[in-house]
Chains A and B, each alone.
Chain A
Amino acid sequence: ETGVTQTPRHLVMGMTNKKSLKCEQHLGHNAMYWYKQSAKKPLELMFVYSLEERVENNSVPSRFSPECPNSSHLFLHLHTLQPEDSALYLCASSQGVGDTDTQYFGPGTRLTVL
């Protein structure tokens, strides 16, 4: 349960605030991911990082800005969000980005935008 950790677990912010979500993995993996989980919708992949380089950006609005300073840490910087951005944001990691690499998830950050 401690392989992938996320902080904070809950966050309430106004539309003009700037905040950051943090993810850390202790599994020695080389790839990290951000997902958005909204009610009644499938998990939506936002960003993929492999060896600290962004390898996928799934048409995510620029108000979400990822940062991967090293292979163990991943951030999601948030600014001028909208109420519809309220969701559970999940981080995941995997050994690599090969087509059969298993992804392990963190506990998520429950974000509420007022």
Chain B
Amino acid sequence: GENVEQHPSTLSVQEGDSAVIKCTYSDSASNYFPWYKQELGKRPQLIIDIRSNVGEKKDQRIAVTLNKTAKHFSLHITETQPEDSAVYFCAAKGLTGGGNKLTFGTGTQLKVEL
């Protein structure tokens, strides 16, 4: 089955700096990679996703890159703001195991300091 590893587990940045979170996956058949943001006490919310037919996707201050050869993908947040502080989860979904399973990373606690 799929295995997703996420690094770092915690990340502190100064407001205005960039933050990068990296994930690797094991199943070469995986073709969908969403990123979720979970604020304290709230539900995980999808912030951006990427499908395997593209290498990069951007939405305002958030971008995701995908390297299918190396089986890794990354989340980039530019010009960080205090409201970006949250736990971020990457995930991968593919065709093995019935194609239903979204496998999550262990999360990254991002803290944006003033």
CB of A105 within 8 A of CB of B45, answer: yes
CB of A99 within 8 A of CB of B89, answer: no
- The secondary structure that dominates the A interface is loop
Any B CB within 8 A of the CB of A61: no
CB of A98 within 8 A of CB of B99, answer: yes
A110 to B5 alpha-carbon distance, docked (Å): 26
Given contacts A45-B101, A90-B44, A107-B43, contact A102 B49 (CB under 8 A): yes
CB of A42 within 8 A of CB of B99, answer: no
Number of A-B contacts defined by CB within 8 Å: 58
Q: How many residues of B contact A (CB 8 A)?
A: 27
17 contacts between A and B (CB under 8 A): A42-B89, A45-B102, A45-B103, A48-B101, A50-B100, A56-B98, A58-B101, A90-B44, A97-B98, A99-B31, A99-B32, A99-B95, A102-B34, A102-B49, A104-B46, A105-B45, A108-B43
CB of B93 within 8 A of CB of A41, answer: no
Given contacts A99-B32, A100-B51, A102-B49, contact A40 B43 (CB under 8 A): no
CB of B45 within 8 A of CB of A99, answer: no
Give 1 or 0 for each of A40-78: 1 = CB within 8 Å of chain B CB: 111101001010000110100000000000000000000
